[in-house]
């Protein structure tokens, strides 16, 4: 008879577990040492939530969000109040990650999530019915299928609403009364029709306002949120360390051994930052591509380049692999992006190739790919 697998063994087969499972030991350590006042319904005090997200060397808590530390503090303060938290910004700036970390630390549960799409309906936000039970018994609590938001209200937890601006305006506006009244009405239940939110409930929403297919939020809905803009990382050295650290963790998790030099990652980060900002470090203006040139995309490119080096190269990442994998970022849905990156290679990369061997390899690989 096959032995029963432990939870840790099962977790080893999961590509990405939730934040409360990935960092369970840190959350437990914070709860043991947390002496701060906790808002009703919170698992940790505001100070401990901050330590969980931004790290605390003395307690052995790792930093999990990189960027604007005061933004994290403002987000925590917002979630203690009556308004929801809206995280907006460019794609790939870790809005969803911050949302997940806040939910894991405050509620111990980041799974109460609504994924906004063009097909999201009012039922996804409020509740639906088990129609077999509905036909057999009529409307009842047993026949009701609660949405993540309904369950968050009932349990006094945070609910995450990802990509809220992808929902049609009439669906977005369902949130107005829910966030104002802090209750869900179920008329079919008669005298038992009202469900009040418990303390600890709030909403964290995210929006990529640059993406196609988004809808403007009404002024009434905007007033229910405090808006915080999550910006791309501007510090070059900081972003290099972040990309290197994440790539190394991903490679270790996959059991892949590859040599990744800091200078090669620095070249990648420089390329992404300059194309993202529309200006080189020397001050030359560039046309920015529509493609997302975020830190998360840079990590994806570096990781893919490492896998290419491991399986098709000599186990060492070079600018050649970076150029190969850069195609996957640039060649998406705008032909002009290709011309903009070609121009970058023909001018900026070409000039740097005269003085630096890494940039020369990068240029030559780019010429082979984009003649």
pLDDT score of 4: 45
pLDDT of residue 370: 64
pLDDT of res. 157: 97
**pLDDT of 328:** 82
Contact at 8 Å (CB) between 197 and 156? yes
Nearest-5° angle of CA 90, CA 227, CA 110?
Answer: 80
pLDDT score of 158: 98
Instruction: Give the pLDDT confidence score for residue 336 in this predicted structure.
Output: 85
- Name the CA radius of gyration of the chain, rounded: 24
Going by C-alpha positions, the residue among 30, 23, 102 that lies closest to residue 59 is: 30
Q: Which residues of the chain have pLDDT under 70?
A: 1-13, 211-213, 333, 370-371
The whole-angstrom separation of Cα 297 and Cα 329 is: 7
Q: Hunting for tokens 């063009």 — which residue is that?
A: 118
Spell out the alpha helix ranges (H) of the chain: 7-12, 19-22, 24-33, 46-54, 69-80, 95-107, 122-125, 131-137, 148-155, 169-172, 174-181, 219-222, 236-254, 262-277, 295-312, 319-330, 335-344, 350-353, 357-369
**Contact criterion met (CB below 8 Å) for 201 and 182:** yes
The answer to whether 156 touches 201, Cβ cutoff 8 Å, is yes
Contacts of residue 173, defined as CB under 8 A and 6 or more positions apart, other chains included, come to 218, 220, 221
- The candidate with the shortest Cα–Cα distance to 265, out of 243, 297, 292, 282, is 243
Q: What is the pLDDT of residue 84?
A: 97
Look at residue 93 in the predicted model and tell me its pLDDT: 87
What's the token pair of residue 129?
A: 């019915």
Task: Identify the helix (H) or strand (E) that includes residue 341.
Answer: helix 335-344
Q: Give pLDDT, residue 337.
A: 87
State residue 5's pLDDT score.
47
């Amino acid at each position: 008879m096959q032995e029963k697998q432990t939870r840790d063994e099962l977790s080893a087969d999961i590509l990405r577990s939730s934040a409360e499972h990935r960092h369970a030991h840190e959350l437990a350590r914070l709860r043991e040492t947390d002496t701060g006042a906790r808002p009703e319904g919170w698992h940790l005090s505001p100070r401990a939530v901050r330590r969980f997200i931004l790290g605390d060397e003395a307690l052995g808590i790792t930093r999990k969000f990189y960027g604007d530390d005061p933004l994290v503090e403002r987000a925590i303060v917002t979630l203690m109040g009556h308004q929801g938290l809206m995280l907006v910004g460019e794609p790939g700036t870790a809005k969803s990650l911050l949302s997940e970390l806040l939910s894991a630390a405050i509620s111990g549960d980041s799974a109460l999530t609504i994924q906004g799409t063009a097909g999201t309906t009012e039922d996804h936000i409020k509740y639906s019915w088990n129609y077999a039970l509905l036909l057999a018994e009529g409307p009842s609590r047993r026949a009701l299928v609660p949405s993540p938001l309904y369950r968050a209200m009932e349990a006094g937890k945070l609910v995450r609403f990802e990509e809220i601006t992808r929902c049609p305006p009439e669906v977005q506006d369902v949130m107005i009364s829910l966030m104002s009244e802090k209750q869900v009405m179920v008329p079919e239940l008669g005298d038992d029709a009202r469900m009040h939110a418990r303390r600890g409930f709030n909403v964290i929403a995210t929006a990529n306002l640059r993406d196609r297919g988004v809808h403007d939020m009404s002024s009434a809905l905007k007033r229910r949120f405090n808006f915080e803009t999550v910006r791309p990382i501007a510090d070059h050295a900081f972003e290099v360390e972040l990309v290197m650290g994440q790539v190394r963790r991903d490679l270790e998790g996959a059991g892949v051994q590859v040599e990744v030099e800091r200078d090669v990652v620095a070249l990648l980060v420089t390329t992404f930052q300059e194309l993202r900002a529309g200006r080189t470090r020397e001050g030359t203006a560039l046309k920015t591509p529509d493609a997302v040139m975020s830190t998360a995309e840079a990590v994806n490119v570096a990781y893919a380049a490492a896998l290419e080096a491991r399986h098709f190269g000599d186990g060492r990442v070079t600018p050649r692999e970076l150029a190969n994998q850069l195609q996957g970022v640039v060649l998406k849905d705008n032909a002009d992006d290709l011309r903009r990156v070609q121009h970058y290679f023909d001018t900026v990369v070409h000039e740097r190739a005269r003085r630096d061997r890494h940039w020369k390899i990068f240029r030559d690989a780019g010429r082979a790919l984009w003649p």
